[in-house]
Amino acid sequence: MRNKKPVKKSPKPIVTVIDWKSGPVVNGDTSVEREVLGNTAEVRYALCDDEADFNKDICESDVILLWQNANVTEDGISRLKKCRTIVRNGVGYDSVDIAAAGRAGISVCNVPDYGTEEVADHAIALTLALTRQLFPLDAEAKSLGWKLHTAHKIRRLRELTFAIVGLGRIGTAVALRAKALGLQVVFYDPYVSNGVEKAIGIRRVRSLDVLLKQADVLTLHTPLTAETRYLIGARELALMKPTAYVVNTSRGPVIEKRAIFDALRKGKLWGAALDVVEDEPLRTKEEAATPNLIVTCHAAFCSVEAKEEMRRTAARITRQAVLFEPLDNLVNGQFLRK
């Protein structure tokens, strides 16, 4: 009996992990992704600052696992000939044109449920740094001074109205932490169901302007969308008390940078603590010298544990895409062509 010719197996789907060339996060280490994906896919690694860096291998990927700072526009999407899913390795997905991806039949997913604890802790840490004037006191003590020059800005927490914009996962975690510290917690979020405030024991207002006028500390926890870009600008800041503090651990362009820096320079706010900044990082020495400003390096999400959780979740969704399973955290379902 004549031997049959061996059947040539189809190649495995290609998953490309795209890291940031200017500051790689995993620096070539794809061990977590390979462990989760197992033998379901071939895992490749690429460094890109933007879609202009997409080479032939990337454009032939079946699934792309995308770290931060690589913007993918309609032009870049049109070059992804085989791609069926882009997994954004993080919460924000504003770097991807999700409508264009949908029209091209490409699903886009994110990882919204990692690092909740870290961002909430960071927002509270920044709040404490402002209300207890930690950095000015540190600088004064190290200059061999001991006169408490900023004593008039140090506040008792339980007397303060802690105003939250956005009561999603992180906003809720922040609210619970603030309550435990004795802050008077109030929030604005037009998309949250009625009664949530009763469930966690905080107060709700139905207008952003009303919230701003009450706030002693304003903290922002919204995604960056067309609706939330410049949600806080000169008009909104002018509604706030001149003794108020602003905290942002969401996305930089939710606050107009020029407006908040101008308010700080003119003494219209007592201070701001920003983990994220429009057009980050800071661009000039003048920006860095803005008075009463604390800036951290878009690091609120960061911890050893959070990074591991994020990578495993993104890899799990990538595995779902490879195996044609239902996708978790799909963000562009309304745009996908039928």
Catalytic residues: 251, 280, 298
Q: Which two tokens stand for residue 77?
A: 């999407």
DSSP state of 232: B
Among candidates 220, 212, 296, 283, which has minimal Cα distance to 253? 220
Residue reference for tokens 């044609």: 324
Spatial distance between the Cα atoms of 299 and 260, rounded to a whole number of angstroms: 20
Q: How far is CA 292 from the centre of its chain?
A: 23
Residue reference for tokens 């997913």: 109
Residue pair 227/202 in contact (Cβ under 8 Å)? The answer is no
User: 162 phi and psi, to 5 degrees?
Assistant: -100, 105
Q: Are strands 203-204 and 184-188 parallel, antiparallel or unpaired?
A: parallel
E runs forming strands in the chain: 14-20, 42-48, 63-66, 85-88, 107-109, 161-165, 184-188, 203-204, 217-220, 245-248, 271-274, 293-295
* 30: helix, strand or coil: coil
Q: Is the bond preceding 24 in cis, omega lying within 30 degrees of 0?
A: no
* 72: helix, strand or coil: strand
Among candidates 252, 259, 247, which has minimal Cα distance to 293? 247
Of how many residues is the chain composed?
A: 338
Spatial distance between the Cα atoms of 251 and 258, rounded to a whole number of angstroms: 15
Q: How far is CA 106 from the centre of its chain?
A: 22
The CA distances from residue 91 to 87, 124, 187, 226, 297, in Å, are 10, 19, 21, 16, 16
